[in-house]
Amino acid sequence: MEIRGPATYYDGLTPRVHDVAIALGVDALTIRDLDGTLATWPLPRLIKLDARRGELRLGSVDQPDGRLEIRDPRLVRELSAALRDQPKTPGAKRSRGLVAGGLVLAALASVGVLVVFGIPAVAAKLAPLVPINWEISIGEEVKPQIVDMLGKGRQRTVCDDAAGAAALAKLSAELVEAADPPLPVQIEVIRLPVPNAFALPGGTILVLSGLIDKVATPDELRGILAHELGHVVHRDAIRHVIETAGLSALFGLVLGDYSGSTIAVLTGRTLVDAGYSRGIEAAADAFAVTVMKRIGRDPGALGDALNHITGSTPNFGESLAWLSTHPSTPDRVAKLKAEARAVPPETLLSQTEWAGIKAICK
């Protein structure tokens, strides 16, 4: 049973309009005009192509750019039914969709692997290669900005009470010697009632006065400082810069900037950043334990200090633990407490010296 009717034919060589009669047989589509047969397209090589509304446009793999346009409504209906199983674009097969889906899943998986393992690994490898004097120069640029930001609107941002500073120097000298950092370390106290401490690039450790208020013993302060020294020794600040650059390249450059991506990128970055930080904080904790053992003080004191700090800050709750940049405190405290040991009473600092540190911002 043949399907016959009128159509317009373009031979793919010129844009000339050929008014033709077509006949769809069992194995081929024949295109004729008054002068004779113009083309015969075997059915398996037939392709359906994009067309305007109400039109059917056919082509053949064997005749590139040759086109047949059918607009007669009856013929369009009949041919569409007869050619239902014909592919839409050249070479398209039914399995293409599956392959594409698989490719997308594979791409997503490799992006995941790159983000979770690749970038941190590369950053960890690259960070030690950044020359020490680069890091020191970066630190010199960053430090005043950070100190300004923290001490906004306050006078005497850096606490420099002479007695306290001397005692702090005495306490930290021992720690720094044990930690053996690759660059000179400066420890400064900033007047800000938030219990926190940071390690900046270039070996500066900033301790906020809120933290000085919270710690109960010299060993707790030592634990905090040893933890921050861990960041300095591991060169985590530089590592963070490299990781951020790598992530922005991945999310911005490779995955593209299409609308709606901004929030996905920000969320992804926050989660991934938090994930990286958890690993880095755990490493710094482990370093603190080693240093505290080396100088013969109690590694568990850092756990006590963490307990004092979290008692005063709003708890995110277990469900939001993945958002927090530090590992959930009970886990960290448990790990640190496992290392706790009995140590002789404080001999390095006198009672007055410790009181001086506590009053360094008064």
Partner 1 sequence: MNDWSQPGLPPLPNQRPPLPLVPPQRGGDAAWTGAWAPVPMPAVLSVERAYFDIDTPGVVAMAIWGSLLSFLTLGIYRFWFTVNVRRDLWRRAMFAGSSFEYTGTVWEIFKGFLVALIILAPIWALYTLGTALLPSRQYGEVAGLMTFVAVIAFLFFIYFATYRARRYRVSRTLWRGVRFHQTGSGVAYALMNFGWWLLVPFSCGVSIPFARASLERYRMNNTWFGDKRFQSQASGSAMMPGFLSYLGLVLGPSLLLALLGGVALAMGVGVQHVGEIFDELSRMTKIGSTVGDRHAAGIVFGFGFLILAAIWLCLAPFVCWPIYCAWEWRSFTERMSVGGVKFRSDFSAWEFYTTYLVFLAIMTGLLMAVSMVSGVVIGLAYLAHAKDNSFLPIIVVGPLYLLVLWGLSVARLKVFLFGLTGKLIRTTTVIGLELLGDTLSRRDKVGALGDDFSGGFDIGAI
Positions touching partner 1 (CB under 8 A) are 6, 8, 10-19, 33, 49-55, 57, 64-67, 69, 71-72, 89, 100, 104, 107-108, 111, 130, 133-138, 140-141, 241-242, 244-245, 249, 253-264, 267, 314, 320
Nearer to partner 1, 243 or 339 (CB): 243
Q: How many CB atoms lie within 10 A of CB 279?
A: 12
Nearer to partner 1, 92 or 338 (CB): 92
Using the structure block, give the residue that is written with the tokens 């690259």.
126
Q: How far is the CB of 115 from partner 1 (least distance, A)?
A: 10
Q: How far is the CB of 128 from partner 1 (least distance, A)?
A: 14
Nearer to partner 1, 38 or 343 (CB): 38
Nearer to partner 1, 243 or 353 (CB): 243
Q: How far is the CB of 53 from partner 1 (least distance, A)?
A: 5
Q: How far apart are CA 258 and CA 235, in angstroms?
A: 35
Q: How far is the CB of 328 from partner 1 (least distance, A)?
A: 16
Q: How far is the CB of 211 from partner 1 (least distance, A)?
A: 23
Tell me the CB-side half-sphere exposure of residue 100, using CA atoms within 13 A: 6
Residue 59 φ/ψ region, left for φ over 0, alpha for ψ in the -120 to 50 degree band, beta for the rest: beta
Q: How far is the CB of 124 from partner 1 (least distance, A)?
A: 15
Nearer to partner 1, 10 or 198 (CB): 10
Nearer to partner 1, 295 or 321 (CB): 321
Nearer to partner 1, 41 or 354 (CB): 41
What token pair was written down for 132?
């020490």
Q: How many CB atoms lie within 10 A of CB 179?
A: 22
Q: How far is the CB of 268 from partner 1 (least distance, A)?
A: 8
Nearer to partner 1, 111 or 282 (CB): 111
Nearer to partner 1, 194 or 343 (CB): 194
Q: How far is the CB of 336 from partner 1 (least distance, A)?
A: 28
Q: How far is the CB of 269 from partner 1 (least distance, A)?
A: 13
